[in-house]
A and B are shown apart, each in its own frame.
Chain A
Amino acid sequence: RKEVEQDPGPFNVPEGATVAFNCTYSNSASQSFFWYRQDCRKEPKLLMSVYSSGNEDGRFTAQLNRASQYISLLIRDSKLSDSATYLCVVSSSGGYQKVTFGTGTKLQVIP
């Protein structure tokens, strides 16, 4: 089983739609969770951290389910500018906080 797994997509959704991505992780000792966004041929950029209680930033909501070992990202009212690849990132705790990136889920928002 991969350490971090994401559905590669692509997810093709119309403008204004709501779309959700899930990401599963295998290490139950993981402590930090993030969603990054990567545009074509650009560097990944932090979209949001994921907290145990869940968190929201405008149209974006992230949630963590430790029991089932997955995190989710919900995008409401999709915009054309949301088209990108979304990377799930999981970090363990301890001496070296190993950071593992998922391979990403591609989102294409269609006019």
Chain B
Amino acid sequence: NAGVTQTPKFRILKIGQSMTLQCTQDMNHNYMYWYRQDPGMGLKLIYYSVGAGITDKGEVPNGYNVSRSTTEDFPLRLELAAPSQTSVYFCASSYSSGGLSYEQYFGPGTRLTVT
């Protein structure tokens, strides 16, 4: 099992550019998440998905979009990049059943700089 994989590892964007951060998991987890983590700060939830075709906003969704067409993939789209989106982005997945959620597994992160 590769677990959760993310691409790219690093990216520098100019203000106003767009990009998609890729996330794939091979654990057949139903839940997937996108977080951002600014230097020295905690994780902030951007979007999450409870299954294919279902997504919802987290704490800081503005400036981002997601889709979940398959169980495995959960890409994050940045439109019109701004310096405030400079951060490390983590994708995670977990299994949930019977009203309980289990531990999240994280990808290695994408370090994004917007200049």
Interface residues of A (CB under 8 A from B): 31-32, 34, 41-46, 49, 87, 89, 91, 93-94, 96-97, 99, 101-104
Contacts and interface: CB of A to CB of B under 8 A. Distances in A.
Contact of B109 (A43, A45, A93, A97): A43
Interface residues of B, number: 22
Contact of A43 (B90, B100, B101): B90
Interface centre among A43, A45, A96, A103 (most CB of B within 10 A): A43
Contact of B100 (A31, A42, A87, A101): A31
B96 A97 contact: yes
A90 to B, nearest CB: 10
B90 A99 contact: no
Contacts, number: 48
A91 B42 contact: no
Contacts of B102: 32
Contacts of A41: 88
A103 B43 CA distance: 7
Contacts of B33: 99
Interface string B16-53: 00000000000000010100000001110000001000
Contacts of B108: 42-43
Contacts of B41: 103
B42 A104 contact: yes
A99 B77 CA distance: 22
B42 A102 contact: yes
In order of increasing CB-CB distance, the 9 nearest A-B pairs are A103-B42, A97-B101, A43-B106, A93-B99, A46-B103, A91-B101, A101-B43, A97-B96, A44-B106
Nearest to B44: A101
A38 to B, nearest CB: 9
Contacts of A42: 108-109
Interface centre among B43, B96, B106 (most CB of A within 10 A): B43
A44 B33 CA distance: 13
20 contacts: A31-B100, A32-B100, A32-B101, A32-B102, A34-B103, A41-B88, A43-B90, A43-B107, A43-B109, A44-B43, A45-B106, A46-B105, A49-B103, A91-B100, A93-B99, A93-B100, A96-B50, A97-B31, A97-B101, A102-B42
